[in-house]
């Protein structure tokens, strides 16, 4: 079990390293029109084991990339939230006796305060879903797949060089991939009753 955890940790750590475009892509896979897209990098290169991009057009690729980015962004928030609550931190006014991890859902549903929090969470999810998309009414055009600034947010992005923009997008993509594996690993170990957190902390209990 320790070896598996170590191997998973090393694999996740590699995803947080600065991105480099792959130069050793398999010849057969390199024939894909998407072999040079962002995210194709060492050590796997263009990796499509399920053949989801076989005979795909640009529209299908863009759809899959949108899904990948969205899941990655949600997973990054999930990992941060999971580890934050596992550390014992709670927002002021948070109901007493609510555990971290998946056990929180059941505990929140048992009290009026907890149910109020669940309603607030649902409203936040709806708002986030509405905001994080291209605004058809705005007179703006997305710079790339997943660009939901809609002319309202910038944070200095337009001052970045093209190289820095590409690297920043690759870092986000990699961090999202690592987070998807990370939250899955955390939840799986919680359900197994096996702690992989410092101090033997086991959320949900």
Please state, for a pLDDT cut of 70, what percent of the chain lies above it: 83
The torsion region of residue 176 among left (phi > 0), alpha (psi -120 to 50) and beta comes to alpha
Mean pLDDT, range 115-129, rounded to an integer: 93
Chain segment 4-27, per-residue pLDDT in tens: 444 444 444 444 444 444 444 444
Q: Which residues contact 131 (CB under 8 A, 6 or more apart)?
A: 148
Measured distance CA(203)–CA(101) in Å, rounded? 5
Which of 54, 14, 58, 52 has the alpha carbon at shortest distance from 175? 14
Which of 188, 190, 162, 178 has the alpha carbon at shortest distance from 8? 178
Chain segment 169-193, per-residue pLDDT in tens: 999 999 999 999 999 999 999 999 9
Query: The whole model's pTM is what?
Result: 0.78
In whole angstroms, how large is the CA radius of gyration of the chain?
20
pLDDT score recorded for residue 30 = 55
Question: Which phi and psi angles does 130 have, rounded to 5°?
Answer: -70, -45
């Amino acid at each position: 079990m320790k070896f598996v955890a170590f191997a998973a940790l090393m694999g996740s750590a590699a995803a947080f390293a600065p991105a480099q475009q792959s130069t050793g892509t398999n010849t057969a896979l390199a024939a894909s029109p998407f072999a040079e897209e962002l995210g194709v990098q060492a050590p796997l290169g263009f990796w499509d084991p399920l053949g989801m991009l076989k005979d795909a057009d640009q529209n299908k690729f863009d759809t899959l990339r949108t899904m990948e980015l969205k899941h990655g962004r949600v997973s990054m928030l999930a990992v941060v939230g999971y580890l934050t609550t596992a550390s014992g931190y709670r927002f002021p006014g948070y109901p007493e006796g609510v555990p971290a991890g998946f056990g929180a859902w059941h505990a929140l549903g048992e009290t009026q305060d907890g149910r109020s929090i669940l309603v607030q969470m649902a409203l936040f999810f709806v708002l986030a879903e509405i905001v994080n998309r291209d605004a058809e009414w705005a007179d703006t055009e997305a710079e790339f797949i997943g660009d939901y600034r809609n002319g309202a947010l910038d944070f200095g992005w337009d001052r970045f060089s093209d190289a820095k923009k590409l690297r920043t997008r690759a870092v986000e993509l990699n961090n999202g991939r690592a987070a998807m594996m990370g939250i899955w690993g955390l939840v799986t170990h919680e359900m197994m009753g096996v702690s992989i957190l410092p101090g033997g902390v086991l959320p949900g209990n």
